[in-house]
Amino acid sequence: MPGILDVLHIAKSALEFQQYGIQVTGHNIANANTEGYTRQRVISEPRTPLETPYGTLGTGVQVETIERERDRFLDEQVRTAGGELGRWKQAERTLSEVEGTFSEPSEGGLNAILREFWDSWRALADRPESTAARQVVLGKARALVEAFHRLRGRLRNVRYNMNTSVGSKVEEINRIADQIAELNLRILNSEVSGHPANDGRDRRDLLLDRLAELVDVKVIEGADGTVNVYLSGRPLVEGREASRLATAPALQGDRSIKEVVWEADSAEVEISGGELSGILEARDKVGSYLERLDLLARTLVERVNSIHREGYTLDGATGINFFKSEVEGAGDIELSDEVVGNPSKIAASKDGGPGDGSNALDIADLEYERTLGTSTLDDHYRSLIAQVGQDLEEARFMRENHELLWERLRNQRESVIGVSLDEEMIKLIQYQHAYSAAAKLTSVLDEMIRTTLDMLR
């Protein structure tokens, strides 16, 4: 038969539960501005009821668990959007830097310098015996050579810096993977003993958010509370163990290019999202820009030399190259040794006759020759500039779209996991009133016990 002491236990359980509620609410308020914090709530359940001839009687309340307000589906969406945002942010940042290296349109840009180079040959065709006109051709040629060197050097520097960025991102991924594996172990040890590791889970989720910004990963949580993280189908984190990434020289092409590999077996990692993907994709684009610039330089050298060799110098010599013939790209282009410092060796004449500048005019007319398929040399360069601008515009457009999506999803998730001070104050008042009611019940029971004892005296 239930008695006063049973009711006293009910009051005691109510007091204890409200204390838990007040403590959790206070913890929420204290961490309202803590990055990555997930608000918590106390989940209650009735205590084991008391069986009586008239049915079961409640015996109070107890804490079932303290859980986080978290939505895994939203987490996955935020991480996917964050990875795409990181990818296009990196691409936009890099391509913006590339666009700046071309300095187009400007007087110091390659487009203007190339046009001045053609104009100098046209002026020489009008005055083939003029030493001054020949000096101008050499001056414009030197400026063109320097412009090629400068532009290629800048693009190479951008590509080198991206190599450095790849290494930095790989180091950060390894560091985060190690931390997640360590947190897996801590969470496992805590929750095995029946203590929810909510703050540890918050820290792990924050790391998973950052990892997803860096690279496209798949996160699967196990029944034991640990998470496995997969990259390109292979485990990056598996329970308490973390695999490591590394960089290695590319197996094909430019060996200075760093590829991302698994440290254990040097197998290449297929990167499909995140900041690392944006860097690698932009680096490949810069590589294609360099190839097109090199093609322009090689073709220019071949065509100018081809015509120049057919012409005659002031002293009647022929078969002389204007540029050095062994050119692989824009970084190798140089004036030939015969021409450097010796303007009389410029082959302006086609027949060797005095006053003939037709060979110089043929070189000048290369400006309009469709040397590269259906494109002139100038068209080829302008299309390269247009491609850079188009790639940058695409990256900017995609970044803006994914930024809007990421912000919307993040705000949606924040409405679930974030701490609302107004809501917490309401909860605090509710717990306070419930605590006061439980305390009042205790006082009533105390009076009842006193009355009973007085009756027995």
- pLDDT tens, 72-105? 999 999 999 999 999 999 999 999 999 999 988 7
Classify the phi-psi angles of 103: left when phi > 0, otherwise alpha if psi is within -120 to 50, otherwise beta.
Answer: left
State whether 29 and 101 are in the same domain.
no
State whether 63 and 100 are in the same domain.
no
* Token pair for 329: 């790209």
Q: What is each CA distance from 304 to 72, 347, 445, in whole angstroms?
A: 65, 11, 108
Asked whether residue 46 is assigned to any structural domain, the reply reads yes
State whether 100 and 233 are in the same domain.
yes
State whether 51 and 191 are in the same domain.
no
State whether 160 and 277 are in the same domain.
yes
* pLDDT score recorded for residue 2: 62
Asked whether residue 154 is assigned to any structural domain, the reply reads yes
Asked whether residue 412 is assigned to any structural domain, the reply reads no
Nearest alpha-carbon partner for 155 in 377, 385, 378, 372: 385
Nearest alpha-carbon partner for 293 in 232, 366, 404, 377: 377
Asked whether residue 106 is assigned to any structural domain, the reply reads yes
What range defines the domain where residue 452 resides? Answer: 4-69+419-456
* pLDDT score recorded for residue 374: 92
State whether 36 and 175 are in the same domain.
no
Exposed / middle / buried, residue 60 (Cβ in 10 Å: 0-12, 13-18, 19+): buried
Q: Across the strands, what pairs with 258?
A: 249
307 within 8 A of 318, measured Cβ to Cβ: no
State whether 247 and 330 are in the same domain.
yes
What digits encode the pLDDT tens for the residues 384-421? Answer: 999 999 999 999 999 999 999 999 999 999 999 999 99
Q: Write out the DSSP string of 356-392.
A: --HHHHHHHGGGGS--BTTB-HHHHHHHHHHHHHHHH
Alpha helices, DSSP H only, in 193-248? Answer: 198-214
Half-sphere exposure of 49 (CA within 13 A, CB side): 8
- What's the sign of the alpha-carbon dihedral 335, 339, 343, 348? negative
**Identity of residue 169:** K
Question: SS3 for 428?
Answer: helix
Round to whole Å and give the CA distance between 77 and 64.
30
7 within 8 A of 58, measured Cβ to Cβ: no
State whether 158 and 187 are in the same domain.
yes
At 420, phi and psi to the nearest 5? -100, 115
Does the N-terminal peptide bond of residue 249 adopt cis geometry, omega within 30 degrees of 0?
no
Asked whether residue 191 is assigned to any structural domain, the reply reads yes
Exposed / middle / buried, residue 79 (Cβ in 10 Å: 0-12, 13-18, 19+): buried
Instruction: Please name the residue that has the structure tokens 């027949």.
Output: 351
* Token pair for 57: 């009687």
| pLDDT above 90 as % of the chain | 79
* pLDDT score recorded for residue 457: 65
* pLDDT score recorded for residue 381: 96
128 within 8 A of 360, measured Cβ to Cβ: yes
| CA end-to-end span of the chain | 23
What digits encode the pLDDT tens for the residues 298-309? Answer: 999 999 999 999
State whether 271 and 363 are in the same domain.
yes
Asked whether residue 315 is assigned to any structural domain, the reply reads yes
Tally the domains of the chain: 2
What digits encode the pLDDT tens for the residues 210-231? Answer: 999 999 999 999 999 999 999 9
State whether 381 and 237 are in the same domain.
yes
* pLDDT score recorded for residue 451: 75
At 280, phi and psi to the nearest 5? -65, -40
- The DSSP element (H or E) to which 313 belongs, if any, is none
Asked whether residue 387 is assigned to any structural domain, the reply reads yes
What digits encode the pLDDT tens for the residues 272-295? Answer: 899 999 999 999 999 999 999 999
Asked whether residue 414 is assigned to any structural domain, the reply reads no
Residue ranges, the chain, pLDDT below 70:
1-3, 252-253, 255, 457
**Identity of residue 17:** F
Q: Across the strands, what pairs with 335?
A: 323
* pLDDT score recorded for residue 250: 81
Round to whole Å and give the CA distance between 77 and 262.
27
Does the N-terminal peptide bond of residue 105 adopt cis geometry, omega within 30 degrees of 0?
yes
* pLDDT score recorded for residue 193: 81
State whether 153 and 194 are in the same domain.
yes
State whether 80 and 65 are in the same domain.
no
